[in-house]
Structures are given as structure tokens and as C-alpha cells.
């Protein structure tokens, strides 16, 4: 009888540990911030380590007051995943994704102005320049490299990198 109770207790503990380990862990974000100056035009490289092959996403946001920033994301195997630019012209910020050409049906492959939105209460909602660059399930693990190449740029950047994709 004692062995049976002990066996049930061990099975119950094992079941609880299994359920806890398989539970929904929240998405974690890592943020990288920096600034650009016309006086300093060297390439900025940000290394981002990814340990999950279950997919993840990145958000790129630039606040420019002058110039242009070309950017690219390279896999641990040195393959280009995303490439684009952000430019400040005539008091407005424009973006364009130049690689891949068919991402999100090509909706980001045209030069377009980046505009904030307004909610129903009149509050301004800031929209990042590249809000959701998704890396599919099965993406390589390891260190990804984000290269930022400022061209006569003044301003700042914020990069947000997730550890996984949201559940559908």
C-alpha cells in the first residue's frame, strides 16, 4: 500500500513538472538602442544570439532628423535574410524593404512614408519603421548580425528582438 501511494505521488510530481515545463512561457524581448551622428559614419554591427528554432521576430525603428540608414540582417551562416533602408527627406521618414522582394506580399517593397496612427480617442500611436520582420519556424540558431550603415545620418535607432513567435 505504501509503495502504491509513493508511486502515485512520484507520477503526480512528474506530471506536474511536465505540465509546468510545457506551459506557455511569455515572449521575451531584447532591446538595442543607439544613435547616429553625421560626424561618425562607420557601420554599426549588432550581434543577436538566438537559441530557438521555433521562429522569432525583430522590430526596427529609426528616428532620423537627417540622412539615410541602410540596414541588413545576416544569419549565422552568413546568408542575407532582410535588407532595407530608412531615409529622412523633406521633413518625413520613408522606408523600403529591398530584400526579400516578396515579403508580406511585397507590401514593404515600395518606398513609403512612415506615419504614426491615431486611435479612436485621438491618442497618437507610434508605428516602428519595420514593425514585424518574422523569422520562420526552423530558422537557424546562433548569432545573427544586424548591420546599420548610416549615410550622413543624424538620429537614433531602437531594435527589438524576440525569443519566439506569438501563438496563433
Residue 148 host element (H or E): strand 142-162
Classified as helix, coil or strand, 167 is: coil
Cα separation, 148 vs 132, whole angstroms = 18
pLDDT of residue 59: 85
| CB atoms near residue 70 (< 10 Å) | 17
Distance of CA 66 to the CA centre of its chain: 24
Q: What CATH number does the domain containing 114 carry?
A: 2.60.120.380
Any domain includes 93 = yes
Any domain includes 1 = no
Any domain includes 75 = yes
Classified as helix, coil or strand, 143 is: strand
Q: Which residue is associated with the grid cell 545576416?
A: 74
The pLDDT tens digits for 123-150 are 877 777 676 787 777 778 888 899 999 9
Any domain includes 44 = yes
The pLDDT tens digits for 2-54 are 655 555 454 444 445 444 444 456 777 778 888 988 877 788 888 888 777 77
The pLDDT tens digits for 79-119 are 999 999 999 999 999 998 888 888 777 777 888 888 878 88
Q: How many domains does the chain have?
A: 1
Range of the domain at 70: 27-162
Any domain includes 39 = yes
Amino acid at each position: 500500500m505504501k509503495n502504491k501511494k509513493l508511486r502515485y505521488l512520484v507520477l503526480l510530481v512528474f506530471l506536474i513538472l511536465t505540465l509546468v515545463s510545457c506551459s506557455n512561457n511569455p515572449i521575451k524581448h531584447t532591446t538595442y538602442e543607439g544613435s547616429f551622428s553625421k560626424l561618425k559614419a562607420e557601420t554599426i554591427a549588432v550581434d543577436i544570439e538566438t537559441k530557438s528554432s521555433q521562429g522569432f521576430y525583430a522590430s526596427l525603428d529609426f528616428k532620423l532628423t537627417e540622412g539615410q540608414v541602410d540596414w541588413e540582417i545576416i544569419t549565422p551562416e552568413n546568408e542575407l535574410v532582410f535588407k532595407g533602408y530608412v531615409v529622412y527627406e523633406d521633413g518625413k521618414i520613408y522606408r523600403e524593404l529591398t530584400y526579400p522582394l516578396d515579403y508580406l506580399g511585397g507590401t514593404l517593397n515600395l518606398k513609403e512614408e512612415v506615419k504614426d496612427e491615431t486611435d479612436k480617442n485621438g491618442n497618437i500611436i507610434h508605428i516602428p519603421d519595420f514593425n514585424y520582420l518574422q523569422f520562420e519556424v526552423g530558422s537557424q540558431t546562433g548569432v545573427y548580425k544586424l548591420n546599420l550603415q548610416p549615410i550622413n545620418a543624424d538620429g537614433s535607432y531602437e531594435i527589438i528582438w524576440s525569443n519566439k513567435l506569438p501563438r496563433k
